[in-house]
Chain A
């Protein structure tokens, strides 16, 4: 079933030395689900090994077994040739296994060094630890100041703290779970440099991702999982993204069908000089934003996280109502002071970037979560009473039409994987037939198959005449689905330009806050000044 590794000799860097970690026939059986089914995996010191697979393919379970979060039901684990049982993460760390999770586990009100100290055994001396942090951060090109508070750090910086925390334990094996999903293209470059340096020093890296081009660039070897089983091993540099995708999802990657842009649709969303001071002292103030979104078009807003996206979304969704009415106009109504519920009644639906806890209530069933936003639009409430039968039916429709893998509409939202929950939320908001859909990070942490499906759903919705605004940090995605694109940087919005007339490079430059309009204005003032002179 599995291709022996000898058929596909890994890169020279990885071939040296004996196996660091070997998994033999690892199975993990949860009640009703086989998460891992006889998985074999081998990794050598200095090897960057990709674990590739869709949501629910069993990647996370496998990593949890290696990191001691859970125990395998069957199979053996060999560490440097000896069979071991890893009971918990502390045991994994003492062996020399470190893991950087997709969702960070840092205390926001503590400083970097305090956060690092918490993960250390005993009571470390903070001054000495700060110095070690600085050494490690310098050595691996991970600039971060030990004394800063975590809440003031950007997502990229927080990830660095997590990585440094692992590196201080001098790991022999580092597990990285979807590390680039929160980074800018430049930050990804730097991360790869760090990882390559680590590998060259003999540290093995297990790299979990679904971004095929990154894996091709970075990883020496790859193990592909599908449905809990190993479906293949490959050397990513010798594969194409298409061939790896085929291994991963078992068929060709769906390509988004993009119709022609319908011009002159009705105005559905207008930002008319939206300015808003963030209530969060570490937030970004919005400064005089102007934007029009028409029926039948998809407008994208790119930007590095922390440049005002959160604040903009809250201002549009109504979770943070404004003092004035006019800056946010939804379907012709000045809606600035309306609540999120009132704005929804104007025909807007909204997909937030946080799925669990905001887009869905973790402990409630999918049927109950359907009521959350569709109560009025789908008539799930009658004279103040919830019609649970209708709610279940609507939830079932979302599950069926959006291929949500779950245990029926009675399943709790938190029991779903991130990608499946996103599909459910997407389905819930799209099947309400909105006039305007505002969508944040539509495919954040979602695997390729599901991401392609979500993008196609967005395009299909546009074809039906819906106006769509997408705020995303993934440039590739915006270029794939959007008709027009703008950039948000430091709370300001760039001019909007048709995607066909621009390039990824140009938008990348705009992301640092320098766009033609600003330059133009600057030039304009200088010419005026010269005229006066």
Chain B
């Protein structure tokens, strides 16, 4: 082996410090490379930094928008984290999000005359059930035929997007909507109450926080959460203990799907106020990054979702004020995950300088 002055040496034990430090390093590297990217595009990097990270949160409205964007990310990520901890790889939260939006919209349209206080809870339930049902497809195929849940859940995202298009172009199109692919606007009883006057921040944020708390209790206190942790850490030990692997797959996917469905509900009953073919905004995919940056931990997910929301908002800002393409925020998301996975290597390895053999 040629001697290279840098080498990776396995650590005796995974570093706890590194597992917390790694997301911070990833953020720092993303910022650094982001600044270089701005320079390479011929923009002033300091200005870019200001538009991207400072401007969005300078005002109360800006902060409320940040929380608004973070809400669906939190919801999707906490559901995904439950599955990821048990090595159940649900990549299709985006599709489950869309199905949640469809389910909630269906309830809102069906009871369109009603002003019952039960309508919103019914929409939450409908959204959760629709999302979970969409996630049940990969669960069923995985448990019955050992079909790879990564592929199945991912492919169902595109099916979901086509499904919502068909609905808003076809049966659910608002007859008074000038032919736009959208449903009628929901009436007040089907809209989530606003938390802060003058902002768009809705009650969904409170639901998201509650879901994080619930996720924490489930993961760290419940027996089922314990079983899922065992299944994720050592499959043979889970089998030895008699924990059903199929049940873990079902729970992992249904939690992820249900949570994404609620996020979809919160989107149509919140900032959108109707179902359109643009409901799929990428929250479900971004939530995968959020879950990992947040170390599959509810508290981590809280902070990671705020960071990711900032990338969304910052992307819009630089688009508006610096004439950069909208894909810039995707680039930042990608860099964040890339650097996170890179820094995660140092949880189990340390970098050594010097040649391997001294003799």
* A joins B in a complex: yes
Interface of A toward B, CB cutoff 8 Å: 84-85, 87-88, 90-91, 94-95, 121, 317-319, 339-344, 350, 352, 354, 357-364, 368, 371-373, 375, 381, 384-386, 412, 415
* Cβ–Cβ contact A357 & B237, under 8 A: yes
B330 CB to nearest chain A CB (Å) = 34
Interface string of B223-239 (1 = CB under 8 A from A): 11010011001101101
Cross-chain contact B358 with A386 (CB below 8 angstroms): no
Q: Are A88 and B357 in contact (CB under 8 A)?
A: yes
Q: Which residue of A lies closest to B237 (CB)?
A: A361
Contact with A along B83-100 (1 / 0, CB 8 A): 000000000000000000
Bound form: Cα–Cα A371–B14 in Å: 23
- Find out whether the CB atom of A340 lies under 8 angstroms from the CB atom of B237: no
CB nearest to A363 among chain B residues: B233
- Taking the closest CB of chain B, its distance from the CB of A500, in whole angstroms, is 34
Do A340 and B226 touch (CB < 8 A)?
Answer: no
Number of interface residues of B (CB under 8 A): 24
Chain A residues lying within 8 Å of B326, measured Cβ to Cβ, are none
B6-39 CB contact bits vs A (8 Å, 1 = yes)?
0000000110000000000000000000000000
Q: Beyond A361-B237, A364-B230, A386-B223, is A342–B357 a contact (Cβ under 8 Å)?
A: no
**Contacts A88-B357, A372-B237, A384-B223 known; 4 new A-B pairs at CB < 8 A:** A85-B358, A319-B240, A361-B233, A372-B230
A385 to B220, CA, bound (A): 9
Q: How far is the CB of B84 from chain A (nearest CB, A)?
A: 16
The chain A residue sitting closest to B14, CB to CB, is: A363
**Alpha-carbon distance between A359 and B243 when the two chains are bound, in angstroms:** 13
Known: A364-B230, A386-B223. A88 touches B237 (CB 8 A): no
Q: From B354, which residue of chain A is reached at the shortest CB distance?
A: A87
Closest chain B residue to A380 by CB distance?
A: B223
Q: In the complex, how many angstroms separate the beta carbon of A89 from the nearest chain B beta carbon?
A: 10
Contact A121 B237 (CB under 8 A): no
Which residues on the B side are within 8 Å of A352 (C-beta)? 240
Question: Is the Cβ of B240 less than 8 Å from the Cβ of A94?
Answer: no
Are A343 and B237 in contact (CB-based, < 8 A)?
no
With A90-B356, A91-B358, A386-B222 known as contacts, the answer to whether A362 contacts B242 (CB < 8 A) is no
Contact B242 A318 (CB under 8 A): yes
Give the residues in chain B near A368, CB-CB below 8 Å: 226
Decide if A84 touches B226 in the complex (CB within 8 Å).
no
B327 interfacial by beta-carbon distance below 8 Å: no
14 A-B residue pairs with CB within 8 Å: A87-B357, A91-B357, A91-B358, A94-B357, A340-B241, A344-B242, A352-B240, A358-B240, A360-B237, A361-B230, A364-B229, A372-B241, A384-B223, A384-B224
Specify which chain B residues have a CB less than 8 angstroms from the CB of A386 in the assembled complex.
Answer: 221-223, 226
The distance in angstroms between the C-alpha atoms of A38 and B63, with both chains bound, is 63
Give Cα distance in the complex from A352 to B236, angstroms: 11
Q: Does B359 sit within 8 A of A, measured CB to CB?
A: yes
Chain A contacts of B230 at CB under 8 A? 361, 364, 372
A405 to chain B, nearest CB (A): 18
Most buried by B among A352, A360, A361, A363: A361
Q: How far is the CB of A440 from chain B (nearest CB, A)?
A: 11
B320 interface contact, C-beta 8 A = no
Bound Cα distance A360, B358 (Å): 39
Q: Is the CB of B233 within 8 A of A340?
A: no
Contact: A371 with B242, CB < 8 Å?
no
User: Which of A341, A354, A373 is B236 in contact with, Cβ under 8 Å?
Assistant: A354
Q: In chain B between 194 and 238, which residues have their CB closer than 8 angstroms to a CB of chain A?
A: 221-224, 226, 229-230, 233-234, 236-237
How far does the Cβ of A238 sit from chain B's closest Cβ, in whole Å?
38
User: What separation, in Å, do the CA atoms of A351 and B13 have in the docked complex?
Assistant: 26
B114 beta carbon closer than 8 Å to chain A: no
Q: Chain A's nearest CB lies how many Å from the CB of B205?
A: 27
A230 → chain B closest CB, angstroms: 25
Task: Kindly identify which residue among B1, B222, B242, B244 contacts A384, using a CB–CB cutoff of 8 Å.
Answer: B222
Q: How far is the CA of A360 from the CA of B233 in the complex (A)?
A: 10
Q: How far is the CA of A155 from the CA of B272 in the complex (A)?
A: 64
Q: Which residue of A lies closest to B221 (CB)?
A: A385
Complex Cα–Cα for A94 and B239 (A): 43
B216 CB to nearest A CB, Å: 13
Q: Flag if B242 contacts A385 (CB, 8 Å).
A: no
Q: How far is the CB of A471 from chain B (nearest CB, A)?
A: 15
By beta carbon, the residue of chain A nearest B229 is A364
Q: Which of A91, A344, A363, A372 gathers the greatest number of chain B CB atoms within 10 Å?
A: A372
Q: How far is the CB of A369 from chain B (nearest CB, A)?
A: 8
Q: Which of B234, B242, B243, B358 contacts A87 (CB 8 A)?
A: B358
CA distance A352 to B242 in the complex (A): 13
Nearest A residue to B230 via CB reads A361
Contacts A339-B244, A358-B236, A372-B237; is A385 near B356 (CB within 8 Å)? no
State which of B223, B240, B356 has its C-beta within 8 Å of the C-beta of A317.
B240
> How far is A95 from B357 in the complex, measured between Cα atoms in Å?
11
Taking a contact as CB atoms closer than 8 A, the residue among B222, B233, B239 that contacts A385 in the complex is B222
The CA of A344 and the CA of B223, in the complex, are separated in Å by 17
**A342 — which chain B residues lie within 8 A by C-beta?**
242
- A441 nearest CB across to chain B (Å): 14
Are A341 and B242 touching (Cβ within 8 A)?
yes
Contact with A along B319-359 (1 / 0, CB 8 A): 00000000000000000000000000000000000001111
Q: Is the CB of B359 within 8 A of A84?
A: yes
Task: Indicate if the CB atoms of A341 and B241 lie closer than 8 Å.
Answer: yes
Q: How far is the CB of A334 from chain B (nearest CB, A)?
A: 17
Shortest Cβ-Cβ A-B pairs, 7 listed? A341-B242, A340-B242, A358-B236, A381-B223, A361-B234, A372-B241, A361-B237
- Residues from 97 to 136 in B contacting A, C-beta threshold 8 Å: none
Nearest A-chain residue to B244, judged by Cβ = A339
B226 A357 Cβ-Cβ under 8 A: no
Q: Point out the residues of chain B lying under 8 angstroms from A373, CB to CB.
A: 240-241
Residue in A closest to B359 when the chains form the complex, CB atoms: A91
Select the residue from A91, A318, A358, A415 with max chain B CB neighbours within 10 A: A358
Once bound together, how far apart are the Cα atoms of A368 and B227, in whole Å? 10
Which of B229, B240, B358 has a CB less than 8 Å from the CB of A340?
B240
A357 to chain B: which residues have CB within 8 Å? 234, 236-237
CB distance from B293 to the nearest CB of A (A): 21
Most buried by A among B223, B224, B236: B223
Residues of A within 8 A of B221 (CB): 385-386
CB distance from B143 to the nearest CB of A (A): 14
CA distance A373 to B221 in the complex (A): 17
What is the bound-complex CA distance between A364 and B233, given in angstroms? 9
CA distance A363 to B14 in the complex (A): 10
Cβ contact within 8 Å between A362 and B224: no
* Residues of chain A lying within 8 A (CB to CB) of residue B357: 87-88, 90-91, 94
Q: Are B226 and A88 in contact (CB under 8 A)?
A: no
Q: Whose C-beta in chain B lies nearest to the C-beta of A414?
A: B13
A94 surroundings in chain B (CB, below 8 A): 357, 359
Q: Which residues of A contact B356 (CB under 8 A)?
A: 87-88, 90
- B residues less than 8 Å from A318 (CB atoms): 242
A32 to chain B, nearest CB (A): 13
Query: In the complex, what distance in Å separates the CA atom of A317 from the CA atom of B242?
Result: 9
Q: Give min CB distance, B354 to chain A, whole Å.
A: 9
Smallest CB gap from A382: residue in B: B223
Assess A375 versus B234: contact at CB under 8 Å? Given A87-B356, A87-B357, A340-B242.
no
Instruction: Pick the most buried of A121, A350, A386: most chain B CB atoms within 10 A of its CB.
Output: A386
Residues of A with C-beta under 8 A to B240? 317, 319, 340, 350, 352, 358-359, 372-373
A371 to B224, CA, bound (A): 12
B residues 269-310 near A (Cβ < 8 Å) are: none
Q: A94 to B357, alpha carbons, bound, how many Å?
A: 9
Q: How far is the CB of B86 from chain A (nearest CB, A)?
A: 13
Nearest B-chain residue to A374, judged by Cβ: B241
Flag if B1 contacts A121 (CB, 8 Å).
yes
Q: State whether B222 touches A340 (Cβ < 8 A).
A: no
* A317, A360, A384: residue with the most chain B Cβ atoms closer than 10 Å: A384
